Amino acid sequence: MNMEWSDFKLNSDGHVTVVVQDYKTNEVLMVAYMNEEAYHRTLETGKMTYYSRSRNELWVKGDTSGHYQYVKSLTADCDRDTILAKVEQIGAACHTGSRSCFFQEIMTKKI
């Protein structure tokens, strides 16, 4: 079942936050944003499409790098203000070439 864009609670810029995970490992790959057009294109094409706040335009992850993200599932959180996207990641998710954007360790506490 698809949620309508109007079902989401948007941030002040009219966007929804998207947390992206590898569908096999659950590794968090990146966080990005969608506007309504990016959401509909993602549903239509099966390729993750985002809204770049810095460039003020849509972007399909992988169009430049070849590192596409193919949708396996999209799930809304309880508040409907964040989407969890589980994807098949081709190549690196991060623009730095790293598999994930989350590689800069701040602190690790021993358990």
Q: Which helix (H) or strand (E) holds 12?
A: none
Full domain range(s) for residue 18: 11-89
Question: pLDDT by residue (tens digit) across 56-104?
Answer: 999 999 999 999 999 999 999 999 999 999 999 999 999 999 999 999 9
Does the residue 105 lie in any domain?
A: no
- Which CATH number belongs to the domain containing residue 79 in this structure? 3.10.20.810
The SS3 of residue 16 is strand
Does the residue 6 lie in any domain?
A: no
Burial class from Cβ neighbours inside 10 Å (0-12, 13-18, 19+) for residue 10 reads middle
**What does the alpha-carbon distance between residue 74 and residue 57 come to, in Å, rounded to a whole number?**
22
pLDDT exceeds cutoff 70 at 1: no
Return the percentage of the chain with pLDDT > 70, whole number.
99
Number of domains in the chain: 1
Q: Which helix (H) or strand (E) holds 28?
A: strand 28-34
Question: pLDDT by residue (tens digit) across 6-52?
Answer: 999 999 999 999 999 999 999 999 999 999 999 999 999 999 999 99
Does the residue 73 lie in any domain?
A: yes
5 DSSP 8-state letter: G
Does the residue 101 lie in any domain?
A: no
Does the residue 40 lie in any domain?
A: yes
